[in-house]
Structure 1
Amino acid sequence: MAAASWRFEAIGTAWEVVTDAPLPAAARDAVQTVIDAFDREWSRFRADSVVSALAVEGGSVPAPADAAPMLDAFAALGAATGGAVNPLVGASLDALGYDAAYSLRDDGQRPAPSDWRERLTWRDGTLSLSGPAMIDVGALGKGRLVDLVLDVVAAARPGDIVVDAGGDLAVRGRPHRIGLEHPFDPRRAIGVWEVADAALCASAVNRRSWPSATGATLHHVLDARTGQPVRTYAATWAVAADAMTADAIATALFFEGGSRLAHEWGAEWVRMTTDGAVEWSPGCGADLFLGADSVER
């Protein structure tokens, strides 16, 4: 029996859900409800979202269901990377032009608040900001949403499932071979990775990139300590048991300490430097097309 594919657009990216048989209408509606609720809570591109409201004056709101798992993960990411990953990086992205209007107007670097653990709290069912700041969960939020959608789909249509949100994907059932797109040439792959009952997430500096006034290329992967785009690595890929973990590790791998956190969290990974060298984790299951400048880390 041929698989059924459902494609749609949401949160600014293309989605595809593949199942053994078509999803019932009620399941599709449930998926859309989950995505819409997540977007209303966490999107900094929506004026009516929870994080946009907090950005105006700070304050306290009932914590969304995903606050604790995501922000706990951010705390670990920040500790592992020496503060390079920070959920209050929204204003830094805005300053470079990756704002709600997609102005792509570079107003200069703006470091994120280094004391975000004091400014932002999530406990006793309450999410609080001590003052105005823009929360941005892009380091792992799409992976979290993939996991939520997967739960809805699996409840409605058990069996072989793929949930793919613009290249961040989760697989249940039979294995799938996923190509690792070359960050400098989307017509090529640097390898393939067979994924089964796991998630694969990727991040690359060629996605969501734009020129600055000086002609330099800007992109969405920032070092929160400086507000500047990262320049050492061009692309990362991570495989973990769930998509939020894989997404978080894919972000952490742009920084010193990311590979150590991947080991602690049981994730495998591949990354490419901006000069084209490929690195990978010990025991990595990816089938890589390697050159002489590639090395296991």
Structure 2
Amino acid sequence: MGSTYSIKWVPSEHSPEPDALQQDIEDMLARFDKEVSNWRSDSDLAHFNDASAGTCMPMPQSVIDMVQLTDRLYADSDGSFDITVAPLLKLWGFHGGEEHQAPHPDQLQQAMLNVGQQHLHIRDDGQLCKDVALSLDLSSLAAGYMIDRVVERLASYGVTNYMVEMTGELKAAGRKPGNRPWRIAIEEPRDDERVAQMILALDGESVSTSGDYRNYYEVDGQRFSHTFDARSGHPVMHKLAAVTVLDDTAAEADALSTLLMIMGEDRGWDYAIAHDIPAFFVIRDGEVFVSKGTPQFNALAQSEE
């Protein structure tokens, strides 16, 4: 998947040796990579993306699970959150090798013909179908989804004290040796260096941050983020620099942080409040940042200090 992972855990009475556990986890990651990676041409998802309009294909349970989760978020966001944005990422130069410039309106109009999660559906027999030539990108929740699967595997070994991180998404539960909590830093959205803005102690929560300060480019002073609003086909252009979400599951936290980032500082805030989401917003205000947390986030942050 073109990224890294880190797992820290406290052995239990029945847990395997570290080398055996690492091999088990890496076998899981290899299978998942073969199922959903956009970095390889032989993954199950790549085969689906290459298929023509009107195709139905049996897909791994991981893909079906993530499509079902994102179907709800697609509906909740009125189509802003959409996993069929792969053609847009390529067109705007976020899949590597393409020129970094805004596409011609005719190019964008052509790409938009193959964007829209309403054209994706799951048949009763479990096959995944597309009405037009869609290309899916599950990077908005794939890391979180896999964290949840690794946590389930750790639990099968009786491991209840752990911190699992993939591509910056993570979940932590229990305590470290010495009965110390797992502490994680929420990063300040700066382009030049990494600075911790807040420290949280986690016990059973997942945390995900989405922002426009890592994967972006500038043309004529205009910043273009890798986060897209599928309704317009354009990168988001609002003042929200980053948003952090806490949730019981890493997949939900991962997807929700992307959804709120797409919606922006006003619409995203209203959505988070309406859905009782523990979320922390960092908003650009000229040359400075203004931060605010939802009541649910502030309550969790205070209880974990």
TM-score range, shorter chain: 0.7 to 0.9
For the residues of structure 2 that align with 1:154 and 1:265, how far apart are their CA atoms? 29
Deviation at 1:251, TM superposition (A): 1.0
- String of CA shifts for 1:106-138, please: whole Å, max 9, x gaps: 362554756422344354221122332210112
Structure 2 CA distance for partners of 1:73 and 1:119, relative to 1, 3 Å:
closer
Structure in which a larger fraction of residues adopt helix: 2
C-alpha contact (below 8 Å) 2:227/2:236 kept by paired residues: yes
Number of residue equivalences: 275
Structure 2 CA distance for partners of 1:201 and 1:112, relative to 1, 3 Å:
farther
From 264, 268, 277, the equivalent of 2:278 is 268
Deviation at 1:198, TM superposition (A): 1.4
Deviation at 1:264, TM superposition (A): 6.7
- The residue that corresponds to 1:98 in the other structure is 94
For the residues of structure 2 that align with 1:114 and 1:61, how far apart are their CA atoms? 19
- String of CA shifts for 1:170-221, please: whole Å, max 9, x gaps: 1121232221101125432222222111111111111222334x45332221
C-alpha contact (below 8 Å) 1:203/1:235 kept by paired residues: yes
For the residues of structure 2 that align with 1:120 and 1:43, how far apart are their CA atoms? 20
Q: Is 1:181 paired with 2:187?
A: yes
- The residue that corresponds to 1:247 in the other structure is 254
- The residue that corresponds to 2:301 in the other structure is 286
Q: Give the stretch that moved more between structures: 259-268 or 72-81.
A: 259-268
**Counterpart secondary structure, 1:26:** helix
Deviation at 1:153, TM superposition (A): 2.8
- The residue that corresponds to 1:16 in the other structure is 6
Structure 2 CA distance for partners of 1:142 and 1:123, relative to 1, 3 Å:
farther
From 202, 222, 227, the equivalent of 2:233 is 227
Structure 2 CA distance for partners of 1:132 and 1:112, relative to 1, 3 Å:
closer
**Where does the alignment leave 5 or more consecutive residues of structure 2 unmatched?**
176-180
**Counterpart secondary structure, 2:195:** strand
TM-score (norm 2): 0.80
Structure 2 CA distance for partners of 1:64 and 1:154, relative to 1, 3 Å:
same
Structure in which a larger fraction of residues adopt strand: 1
From 14, 29, 33, the equivalent of 1:35 is 29
For the residues of structure 2 that align with 1:162 and 1:127, how far apart are their CA atoms? 33
Within 5 A, what are the aligned runs for 1:69-84? 69-84=65-80
**Which structure has the greater CA radius of gyration?**
2
For the residues of structure 1 that align with 2:67 and 2:120, how far apart are their CA atoms? 13
- The residue that corresponds to 1:156 in the other structure is 157
For the residues of structure 2 that align with 1:107 and 1:121, how far apart are their CA atoms? 34
C-alpha contact (below 8 Å) 2:2/2:39 kept by paired residues: no
For the residues of structure 2 that align with 1:78 and 1:33, how far apart are their CA atoms? 32
For the residues of structure 1 that align with 2:275 and 2:246, how far apart are their CA atoms? 11
**Counterpart secondary structure, 2:296:** coil
C-alpha contact (below 8 Å) 2:224/2:237 kept by paired residues: no
C-alpha contact (below 8 Å) 2:3/2:167 kept by paired residues: yes
**Counterpart secondary structure, 1:273:** strand
Structure 2 CA distance for partners of 1:274 and 1:123, relative to 1, 3 Å:
farther
C-alpha contact (below 8 Å) 1:57/1:131 kept by paired residues: no
Percent identity (aligned): 24
Structure 2 CA distance for partners of 1:229 and 1:118, relative to 1, 3 Å:
closer
Within 5 A, what are the aligned runs for 1:52-91? 52-58=46-52, 59-91=55-87
Deviation at 1:19, TM superposition (A): 0.9
For the residues of structure 1 that align with 2:252 and 2:271, how far apart are their CA atoms? 10
TM-score (norm 1): 0.82
Paired residue type of 1:137: L
C-alpha contact (below 8 Å) 2:84/2:134 kept by paired residues: yes
For the residues of structure 1 that align with 2:114 and 2:271, how far apart are their CA atoms? 22
C-alpha contact (below 8 Å) 2:120/2:128 kept by paired residues: no
- String of CA shifts for 1:29-85, please: whole Å, max 9, x gaps: 221122122222222221112222222233222121123331122122112212111
Deviation at 1:147, TM superposition (A): 1.0
From 233, 236, 247, the equivalent of 2:243 is 236
